[in-house]
Amino acid sequence: MSARLRRSGVIVAVGVIAVAALSGCGRLMSQVGALTAVGGDRAAAVGAAADDILIRERVQVMQWPQCSETKKAVSCTGATLDGVAITVESPSGSPLTMTITVGTRELFRGDVQPILDEAAGQKP
């Protein structure tokens, strides 16, 4: 790969991040996360899809869920503005599924891929 091509890729990546940061738009960050998820990182895919659901359900988030992966199972934790716990659990296996809970309320249970497809502008 030429230095010019690498430099162009870096400029594009920095531009996307700058636009997201300046706009304050969680939706754009979610779409960037969806692009990251294409690389096969389960934690990134679950995190991006969880962010989309939280935005769609208008959850007032103080700390967006941070995800970690252990033996292909993903766990994420965050908090609402009121300090209520946000948990996201995704078992290992295929298809990739997740359950999002805010406090004791189950907000979502289902497949991750349709959420990522929707964020990328693809219709089901």
Closest CA to 116 of 102, 98, 103: 98
What amino acid occupies position 101? T
Give me the phi and psi of 18, to 5 degrees please. Answer: -65, -45
Look up the domain containing 69 and give its range. 3-119
If 0-12 CB within 10 Å is exposed, 13-18 middle and 19+ buried, where does residue 90 land? Answer: buried
pLDDT at residue 120 in the model: 86
124 pLDDT tier (thresholds 50, 70, 90): low
User: Is residue 24 one of the residues assigned to a domain?
Assistant: yes
Would 124 be classed as within a structural domain?
no
Bigger pLDDT: 59 vs 94: 59
Q: Is there a domain that residue 13 lies in?
A: yes
Top-confidence residue, 124 or 68: 68
DSSP string, 32-96: HHHHHHTTT-HHHHHHHHHHHHHHHTT--EEEEEEEEEETTEEEEEEEETT--EEEEEE-SSSS-
- Residue 75 pairs with which residues in a beta bridge? 68, 89
Average pLDDT of every residue of the chain: 79
Percent of the chain with pLDDT over 70: 66
* Predicted confidence (pLDDT) per residue in 68-87, tens digit: 999 999 999 999 999 999 99
Q: Is the residue at 51 inside a domain?
A: yes
Average pLDDT over residues 55-59: 96
User: How many domains does the chain divide into?
Assistant: 1
Cβ–Cβ under 8 Å, residues 81 and 102: no
